[in-house]
């Protein structure tokens, strides 16, 4: 009995084929109508399973009024300036500030960008950065003052997480 092989039936071959990633055109054309139907059904169930396993998107913020957008942007601007200033110590170095906003509209308002702006990174000249954000990002030290300097201030935007990162040097 151990050496006897059983002939495979059509259902077993259809189950094996449905587990394969890609079937060639010849295999699909050689399938019987029932096998092809079961293969299609198994593919549809796999699609349903994977669509339910997609990562959840962040909760949608209800429409903010223009006053709320302005208020949240100014609050985010103040927090960003305070966070960058707190990193400014003696001598010159790099700073990095990460922030979270309530909606994409707040981010656009924070950096005075148009509604059609879709990029994920932008760069400012240090003077333009301070002009755009409307804050003087400088701090006094013992015998002098530290300002944002360097070639560029880079802002990276992650729209699906509603986070941004500002990096530069002082």
Read off the pLDDT of residues 104-137 as tens digits, 9 standing for 90 and up: 888 888 888 887 778 888 888 887 877 777 777 7
* 135-144 core/surface letters (b: 16 or more CB in 10 A; e: else): bebeeeeeee
* Residues 137 and 85 sit within 8 Å (Cβ to Cβ): yes
pLDDT digits (tens, 9 = 90+) for 75-105: 988 888 888 878 877 777 888 888 888 888 8
Answer whether 68's CB lies under 8 Å from 106's CB: no
| Predicted pLDDT of residue 114 | 81
25-81: pLDDT as tens digits: 787 788 888 887 787 878 777 777 765 554 443 444 567 788 888 888 889 888 888
**Residues 133/123, Cβ–Cβ less than 8 Å:** no
What's the confidence (pLDDT) of residue 23?
74
* Angstrom distance (rounded) from CA 36 to CA 44: 12
pLDDT at 56: 46
- Whether the Cβ atoms of residue 31 and residue 38 lie closer than 8 Å to each other: no
Residue 161, C-beta contacts closer than 8 angstroms, at least 6 positions apart? 58, 100
């Amino acid at each position: 009995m151990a050496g006897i092989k059983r002939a495979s039936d059509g259902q077993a071959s259809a189950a094996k084929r449905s587990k394969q990633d890609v079937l060639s055109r010849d295999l699909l054309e050689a399938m019987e109508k029932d096998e092809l139907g079961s293969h299609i059904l198994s593919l549809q169930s796999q699609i349903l399973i994977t669509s339910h396993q997609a990562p959840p998107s962040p909760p949608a913020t209800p429409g903010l009024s223009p006053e709320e957008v302005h208020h949240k942007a100014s609050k985010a601007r103040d927090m960003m300036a305070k966070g960058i200033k707190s990193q400014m110590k003696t001598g010159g170095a790099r700073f990095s500030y990460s922030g979270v906003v309530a909606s994409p509209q707040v981010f656009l308002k924070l950096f005075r960008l148009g509604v059609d702006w879709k990029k994920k990174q932008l760069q400012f000249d240090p003077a333009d950065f301070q002009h755009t954000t409307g804050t003087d990002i400088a701090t006094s030290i013992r015998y002098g003052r530290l300002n944002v300097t360097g070639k560029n201030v880079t802002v990276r935007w992650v729209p699906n997480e509603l986070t941004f990162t500002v990096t530069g040097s002082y």
